[in-house]
Chain A
Amino acid sequence: GAVVSQHPSRVICKSGTSVKIECRSLDFQATTMFWYRQFPKQSLMLMATSNEGSKATYEQGVEKDKFLINHASLTLSTLTVTSAHPEDSSFYICSARDLGQTNEKLFFGSGTQLSVL
Chain B
Amino acid sequence: TQLLEQSPQFLSIQEGENLTVYCNSSSVFSSLQWYRQEPGEGPVLLVTVVTGGEVKKLKRLTFQFGDARKDSSLHITAAQPGDTGLYLCAGAKRGTSYGKLTFGQGTILTVHP
Contacts and interface: CB of A to CB of B under 8 A. Distances in A.
Contact of A43 (B33, B40, B99, B106): B106
Contacts, number: 66
Contacts of A46: 100-103
A75 B50 CA distance: 28
Interface stretch (B41-49, B53-61, B67-75, B76-84): B41-49
B101 A106 contact: yes
Nearest to A110: B42
Given A43-B88, A43-B103, A97 B98 contact: yes
Given A42-B105, A43-B105, A106 B42 contact: no
Nearest to B97: A49
B103 to A, nearest CB: 5
Contact of B99 (A34, A41, A45, A91): A34
Chain A interface SS verdict (over half) = strand
Interface in B80-111: 86, 88, 90, 92, 97-106, 108
Contact of A42 (B41, B44, B106): B106
Max chain A Cβ within 10 angstroms of own Cβ: one of B35, B44, B100 = B100
Max chain A Cβ within 10 angstroms of own Cβ: one of B33, B43, B104 = B43
Contact of B92 (A32, A44, A104): A104
Contact of A44 (B30, B40, B45, B88): B88
B24 interface: no
Given A42-B106, A43-B105, A44-B88, A108 B44 contact: yes
A60 interface: no
> Top 4 closest A-B pairs, CB basis?
A108-B42, A97-B99, A43-B106, A43-B103
Given A41-B108, A43-B106, A108-B43, 15 more contacts: A34-B101, A42-B106, A43-B88, A44-B90, A49-B97, A91-B40, A104-B31, A104-B98, A105-B45, A106-B99, A106-B101, A108-B35, A108-B42, A108-B45, A109-B42
